[in-house]
């Protein structure tokens, strides 16, 4: 099995090192990852600036673009032809609405879009000290997930309970829940006296949605959500079509 690893935290991040160590026991590992922090860049592609690729050591490439750039370059320039993409392990969960902002999840979706099944992995704690202790349980989990029918166009969003809370209580297939951050915009002055803004609040609220990723993690279970690209609200097509009425069949031209 040939794995392509990436993340949104940069090629030197401890979560990627852990993932590479464990995946290396299950198959061949290649890494193409951003050269630094790219969290919350979503699925951006660098279409209007050059990309630089540096082979740090054999099979490990740092790219100065986004996680989606890294996947694109790995598949279509380096021609690595992986069987599976692994993205992470992100320090901090990617639950509910996080999936729309996360670079970790975006890399998995980008891989799936290009026909390579992918896992995005996130840990429910920003404290990376626990990563050193998660080796064995992560291998057990990966072996279980690799046994699933991982067809192309499938991205699994995997959230790991914090290892600080003890053993993981099994694996649950989940839906996308609801997680909201407080919406502060903090204004401060830079050292030259000019104002700058800092987005995003620290307060997080999770709705109690049975079957959701948030609930699985709250119960100490590994959450696995199958993701695809379809953002269409299929259940709104009929009523919007009806409300559109005559306009739907009206010929329009300038």
Interface ranges with Mn ion (CB under 5 A): 8-9, 39, 90
Nearer to Mn ion, 39 or 212 (CB): 39
Q: How many residues does the chain have?
A: 254
Nearer to Mn ion, 200 or 211 (CB): 200
Nearer to Mn ion, 9 or 35 (CB): 9
Q: Which two tokens stand for residue 114?
A: 């290009």
Q: At closest approach, how far in Å is the CB of 8 from Mn ion?
A: 4
Residues contacting residue 59 through CB under 8 Å, at least 6 positions apart: 29, 30, 31
Q: At closest approach, how far in Å is the CB of 90 from Mn ion?
A: 4
d(CA 94, CA 120): 9
Q: At closest approach, how far in Å is the CB of 157 from Mn ion?
A: 14
Label the pairing between strands 84-91 and 118-123: parallel
Nearer to Mn ion, 100 or 146 (CB): 100
Q: At closest approach, how far in Å is the CB of 89 from Mn ion?
A: 9
Residue nearest to Mn ion (CB): 39
DSSP 71-84: HHHHHHTS----SE
Residues contacting residue 46 through CB under 8 Å, at least 6 positions apart: 65, 66, 69
């Amino acid at each position: 099995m040939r794995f392509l690893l990436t993340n949104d935290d940069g090629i030197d991040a401890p979560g990627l090192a852990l993932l590479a160590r464990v995946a290396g026991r299950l198959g061949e590992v290649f890494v193409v990852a951003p050269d630094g922090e790219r969290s919350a860049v979503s699925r951006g592609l660098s279409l209007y600036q050059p990309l630089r690729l540096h082979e740090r050591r054999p099979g490990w490439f740092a790219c100065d673009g986004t996680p989606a750039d890294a996947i694109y370059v790995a598949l279509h320039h380096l021609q690595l032809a992986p069987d599976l993409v692994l993205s992470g392990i992100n320090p901090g969960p990617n639950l509910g609405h996080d999936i729309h902002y996360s670079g970790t999840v975006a890399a998995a979706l980008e891989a799936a879009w290009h026909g390579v099944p992918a896992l995005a992995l996130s840990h429910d704690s920003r404290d990376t000290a626990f990563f050193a202790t998660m080796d064995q349980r992560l291998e057990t989990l990966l072996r279980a997930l690799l046994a699933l029918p991982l067809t192309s166009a499938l991205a699994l969003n995997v959230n790991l309970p914090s290892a600080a809370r003890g053993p993981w209580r099994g694996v649950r297939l989940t839906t996308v829940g609801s997680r909201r951050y407080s919406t502060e915009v903090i204004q401060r002055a830079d050292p030259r006296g000019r104002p700058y803004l800092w987005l995003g609040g620290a307060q997080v609220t999770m709705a109690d949605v049975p079957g959701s990723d948030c609930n699985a993690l709250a119960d100490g279970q590994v959450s696995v959500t199958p993701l695809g690209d379809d953002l269409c609200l299929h259940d709104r097509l009929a009523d919007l079509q009806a409300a559109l009425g005559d306009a739907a069949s009206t010929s329009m031209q300038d």
